[in-house]
Amino acid sequence: MLKPEIFIEKDVNVVKLRENLTGHEAPKATEVKMWLEDDVVKFLFECTDNVIISKGKKFNDKLYEGDVVEFFLTLGSREKYLELEVNPDGAEYAVIVVNEGGMGNFKLYPFDSSPFTSLTERTSGGWRSEWSIPLDNLAAIGWTKECSYCNIYRQDYSGDGTLALYAFNPTYAETFHLPASFVPFGVEEN
């Protein structure tokens, strides 16, 4: 069994995202709280942001053309993973990514309906999004504890269109789709 760098348990685990290209402290804070509640993985993303750019209003719109928070989780291998996103208006995005060779040349397989739920709201200093991902849903789409890697991301557009990328474990590239940057992911046993 892998020693997880991200471990979900009943107690809240808190991480901060870093700037993706350099690994330095992010210029805009993103705090992610994670915990397990009744076999449901919970995330709470707290995003500092003074200019919110939100694109898309419905499930699987091109949310990534604006600000989003993201979670990638392997599905049996590092080259096949779940990508979940939410934008500041609460629209959700869920696809399975097949990334042969792990270098960013990938195909997307969208879900017909979302495998998770989220509650998202604007705050005085930015926005927050709380997610609920049932472990049964993850198992049904191919997640196993034996090959379990993940990463957590945020993309943030400025008013002039400049894109900033933040990550738990930076890829040091202008993409998040580099599975070599995924870290071991574990969930507390009941």
Where along the chain do its domains lie? Answer: 15-185
CATH 2.40.110.10 fits 15-185, yes or no: no
The predicted-structure confidence for 64-110, as pLDDT tens digits, reads as follows 999 999 999 999 999 999 999 999 999 999 999 999 988 878 999 99
pLDDT value at residue 4: 55
Cα–Cα distance between 10 and 124 in angstroms, integer? 29
pLDDT, residue 1, reads: 39
The amino acid present at 102, given as its one-letter code, is: G
Comparing CA positions, the residue from 99, 95, 96 lying closest to residue 79 is 99
Q: What integer pLDDT is reported at residue 48 of this predicted model? A: 98
Tokens linked to 44? 């709470």
pLDDT digits (tens, 9 = 90+) for 112-166: 999 999 999 999 999 999 999 999 999 999 999 989 999 999 999 999 999 999 9
What's the rounded Cα separation, in Å, for the pair 72 and 45? Answer: 14
